[in-house]
Structure 1
Amino acid sequence: MTRTIFMPFVILMFWGSVAFGLPVVSILTYKKPGETELTPAANRAIADLKKRGGGTLKYPAGRFVQGPVEITGSSISIQGAGIGRTVIIRNTQRGYAFWANQQRGVFIRDLSIDCDKSPIEGGIYFGGCTGSGADRVAISNADASTFVVENELLNGGGKKAASDRNVFRNCRATGQKRYHDVGGKSPFIAGGYARNTRFEFCTVTDCVGDAFDSDNAPGTVFNFCVARSTKGTSPYAGFWSEGEQPDSDHRVTWNHCRATGFRVGFGISERVKATILNGEAEQCVNAIKGLHHQYRIVVTNFTARNCGKGLEATDTDGALTFSGPVTLTRVKTVNTVARNSFANYGGSASTNEETLIGPGCEFDKDAYISYENSGSRRITVNGATFRGGNIRYYNGQLTELLVKNSQFINSGIVGARIKQSRITDGSRFITTDSTRTAIQLSLDSYNTTVENSTFEGYNKVSNNAKMGAGVRQTTRRQGPR
């Protein structure tokens, strides 16, 4: 029996160069003699494409002056000749170079936009759009906003519509000039209940504001994005996510993202459920900062390099710092200047949810835990390595610490006031300083127990901890494994 397969006549290839089955027109066709800007031509062309059910408006190579242009129909694409080849120079009118409200399948590709003359905004805005986005677009010198996706309509009097599955790929923002002033936003932002937004292979360089932001935007994903400040330490964040609304279920994922030269590399606050995979922060004050976060932060395969400058004298902040529960796996600090702070620091409420510092983690500075009974009441360190830095706990009378299968090289544990501390399951302490005490407790009233652990080269295992079974001490150091 022969089976006939029917295919639709119109097939939209949104990420190809054109939308097959829809018209492709040149903006020059719509330009009238004597017009010095392309704004009227763009408006005419988009109105025509809207009547025809969509299509592609092509811009040739060259430099063109243009004001704000609204894309008023679905399935309309703006197609340039390439970044640096098609350059749109914004005129002095306030607004976004391209913007759309409540449209589907709107895309902007292969062009540059210089917003230096635009007084406010200047970039791209999608309000209540679905399945739309930008690819290979470079925007410079925007004033307060560069790439924005929201559920709130632009100039819509507060009206909102569903925003879902919008994608920005291979886009660049440089030189944004303003932030949180007259409506300023981050260079790249998904906000206001925009759902399932993806930013992929995007770059922010030397912009004012948090480079990449998701604010109450459930399902936001950042893949292979780079935030960098080359003009000293930016006072903002490379990546930031927040959301106080209890109904948003705000989840954000940063995958293979890198921040260089920021006050905060990756920041999480409020009701955000954040995952960081394969990330890196370099020359940031806080590599990762969890501030008043209510849900667990999960970090896997992350390196903090040359971070912590300016935090040396602080009591409540660290290069890695979390006020709530966190799970760390294969997280490393390299050439860190300041301490790391876990399960404390930031005024958060105490929680029974466990903080896990897990296998493959390596720290070259102290890890502080349990400050003033804030954050997790239970902290487990399992399979981590400390090189030159100690675990320190202070004033955590509700806190329970479990250290197992971990390695301390020229490091140890220093403590005061904890509910319970237990070091066990093959933990190993190694030092080249034969005068050191491995576990130093400043009072004798702690409930700290050591068992099934090895100590090599130390003068003393502990001054006040209780010694259980399986403790092995050697005075001759055998070297790290």
Structure 2
Amino acid sequence: MFWGSATLALPVVSIVKYKKNGETDYTPAAVRAIADLKRQGGGTLTYPAGQFVQGPVEITGSHISIQGAGMGRTFLIRNSQRGYAFWANRKQRVFIRDLSIDCDKSPIEGGIYFGGCTASGADRVSVQNADASTFVVENQLFNAGNSTAVSDRNVFRNCRASGQKRYHEVGGKSPFIAGGYARNTRFESCTVTDCVGDAFDSDNAPGTVFVRCVARNSKGISPYAGFWSEGEQTDSDHRVTWNACKAVGYRVGFGVSERVKATIQNGEAENCVNAVKGLHYQYRIAITNFTARNCGKGLEATDTDGVLTFSGPVTLTKVRTLNTVARNSFSNYGGGTSTNEETIIGPGCDFDRDAYISYENSGSRRITVDGVTFRGSNIRYYNGQLTELLVKNSQFINGGIVGARIKQSRITAGSRFSTTDSTKTAIQLSLDSYNTTVDNATFEGYNRVSNNAKMGTGVRQTNRRQPR
């Protein structure tokens, strides 16, 4: 846990007591209350159940909390001023809890902004109809030119963003974003529903962690990403972890680019075009226990894009595709660079569509397929004269290998091919040079093992598929 209760011994005051007769807007009352708490070294400003019209309010002291009566019970209705409902610069242990904010009347910005703050956060806060940004944490101070301060160990828990209306126009940001060198930010059990923009974003924010977060678009396919991470800066160690997160209805479910070190664990993408997309990134992506479900619509005719699609090295373990309508794509971006760092499609992976590798000598030059199941699908390679492919301990059910122009490929170590179509060739190579070898593998039900591969020892072929 990054933060907990820090204001138990400090004063607790009500917004109602700071409102003067004749005031219809609670902004002045909030400003007076926060100034009073700052003089006392901190404390809690409470909002009872009900609706409160309010403009942007700066939290000017550390150790100050804003406490509502509950999400859906305390409603802050933004007035027509631009800015954030609550924002703080260079503060410590500032918390906002248990309220809802409607930003529909406010032009630009949204709910909460922490600039250069530490050990601060929000819990059980919902923000709807923000314009250009909703929840933001950065080193850059708000409304202070280019001034910055250290941002570290901030947490957003059980927060919701819905209906954000703008993205990347006049400084628009994602509904949830850690950016600009913010360190060690955590987003836990947060949700985004039907917002414009990438739902959850980390941009040059080292140590960002998303846990049990859900990005959901219910209005067709959003052209944005559910989760995205990028960072071109060379002076930060940008690591991001997505754990038990889910994206539904996005062009990209999970996306990585530039100098990001990304880990995806226990995740899911549903009804997305690309379930995971690694685009011109520098470091290895690691994915474990991930499911892509009903993804790939619109990719059927492309050469280099896929449901799981990577331009560089990746390690996959227990990754599966279900009811997909397009290929998966590894080391497959024409015009990109190549690397000697290995791509590993590893144990427990299960694909119901083809895995394309080695397009135009891009990405990893060495690809290992180890312990993978292909159901009605194939490994396909093309034009990868620099690429080495190793397939071992894998099984192909009504599938096989189709390829041409590869430096070297080997199928070995207990790999098993089985089919119910007795006319099929298991390994079909559209070339006459022996760049593929097969040994220690079993083939059941195929008309022939291969048209051009070189056969080594331990190859076993039966005419009929054996019972399982």
Query: Of the candidates 128, 149, 152, which is equivalent to residue 116 of structure 2?
Result: 128
Q: Aligned partners of 2:253, 2:145: CA distance in 1, in Å?
A: 35
- Count of residue pairs brought into register by the alignment: 468
Query: Of the candidates 335, 350, 367, which is equivalent to residue 355 of structure 2?
Result: 367
Query: Of the candidates 423, 429, 450, which is equivalent to residue 462 of structure 1?
Result: 450
Partner of 1:5: none
Partner of 1:350: 338
One-letter amino acid matched to 1:454 = T
Q: What's the CA shift string for 1:360-415, capped at 9, x where partnerless?
A: 00000000000000000000000000001100000000000000000000000000
Q: Aligned partners of 1:458, 1:475: CA distance in 2, in Å?
A: 7
Q: What's the CA shift string for 1:196-222, capped at 9, x where partnerless?
A: 000000000000000000000000000
Where 1:158 maps in the other structure, the secondary structure is coil
Is 1:447 the counterpart of 2:428 in the alignment?
no
Q: CA deviation at 1:343?
A: 1.8
Q: What's the CA shift string for 1:321-374, capped at 9, x where partnerless?
A: 000000000000000100000122264310000000000000000000000000
Q: Aligned partners of 1:249, 1:372: CA distance in 2, in Å?
A: 30
One-letter amino acid matched to 2:156 = F
Do the aligned partners of 1:344 and 1:376 also contact (CA within 8 Å) in 2?
Answer: no
Where 1:292 maps in the other structure, the secondary structure is strand
Q: Aligned partners of 2:330, 2:127: CA distance in 1, in Å?
A: 38
Where 2:36 maps in the other structure, the secondary structure is helix
One-letter amino acid matched to 2:233 = Q
Q: CA deviation at 1:476?
A: 1.2
TM-score w.r.t. the length of structure 1 is: 0.96
- Decide whether aligned partners of structure 1 residues 116 and 243 sit closer, same or farther in structure 2, where only a CA change above 3 A counts: same
Q: Aligned partners of 1:416, 1:227: CA distance in 2, in Å?
A: 40
Q: Aligned partners of 1:185, 1:171: CA distance in 2, in Å?
A: 17
Unpaired stretches in structure 2, ≥5 consecutive residues: none
What does 1:4-43 correspond to in 2, within 5 Å?
A: 19-43=7-31
Partner of 2:327: 339
Q: Aligned partners of 1:122, 1:396: CA distance in 2, in Å?
A: 49
Partner of 2:43: 55
Q: Aligned partners of 1:306, 1:370: CA distance in 2, in Å?
A: 25
- Alpha-carbon RMSD: 1.1
Do the aligned partners of 1:19 and 1:55 also contact (CA within 8 Å) in 2?
Answer: yes
What does 1:74-113 correspond to in 2, within 5 Å?
A: 74-113=62-101
Do the aligned partners of 1:418 and 1:446 also contact (CA within 8 Å) in 2?
Answer: no
Partner of 1:416: 404
Query: Of the candidates 417, 431, 436, which is equivalent to residue 419 of structure 2?
Result: 431
Q: What's the CA shift string for 1:447-477, capped at 9, x where partnerless?
A: 1000000000000000000000000000011
Where 1:122 maps in the other structure, the secondary structure is coil
Q: Aligned partners of 1:246, 1:472: CA distance in 2, in Å?
A: 52
Q: CA deviation at 1:16?
A: 5.8
Q: Aligned partners of 2:336, 2:210: CA distance in 1, in Å?
A: 27
Q: Aligned partners of 1:446, 1:362: CA distance in 2, in Å?
A: 29
Q: CA deviation at 1:91?
A: 0.2
One-letter amino acid matched to 2:321 = T
Indicate the percent of aligned positions where both proteins have the same amino acid.
84
Partner of 2:200: 212
Q: Aligned partners of 1:196, 1:17: CA distance in 2, in Å?
A: 19
Q: Aligned partners of 2:393, 2:254: CA distance in 1, in Å?
A: 29
Where 2:122 maps in the other structure, the secondary structure is strand
- Decide whether aligned partners of structure 1 residues 190 and 399 sit closer, same or farther in structure 2, where only a CA change above 3 A counts: same
Q: CA deviation at 1:15?
A: 5.9
Q: Aligned partners of 2:172, 2:101: CA distance in 1, in Å?
A: 18
- Decide whether aligned partners of structure 1 residues 446 and 146 sit closer, same or farther in structure 2, where only a CA change above 3 A counts: farther
Partner of 1:9: none
Q: Aligned partners of 2:420, 2:196: CA distance in 1, in Å?
A: 47
One-letter amino acid matched to 1:199 = F
Unpaired stretches in structure 1, ≥5 consecutive residues: 1-12
Query: Of the candidates 274, 283, 304, which is equivalent to residue 292 of structure 2?
Result: 304
Partner of 2:318: 330
One-letter amino acid matched to 1:245 = Q
Do the aligned partners of 1:122 and 1:145 also contact (CA within 8 Å) in 2?
Answer: yes
One-letter amino acid matched to 2:401 = I
Query: Of the candidates 114, 126, 130, which is equivalent to residue 138 of structure 1?
Result: 126
Q: Aligned partners of 1:97, 1:446: CA distance in 2, in Å?
A: 67
Partner of 1:292: 280
TM-score w.r.t. the length of structure 2 is: 0.99
Where 2:215 maps in the other structure, the secondary structure is strand
Q: CA deviation at 1:123?
A: 1.1
- Decide whether aligned partners of structure 1 residues 211 and 187 sit closer, same or farther in structure 2, where only a CA change above 3 A counts: same
- Decide whether aligned partners of structure 1 residues 225 and 320 sit closer, same or farther in structure 2, where only a CA change above 3 A counts: same
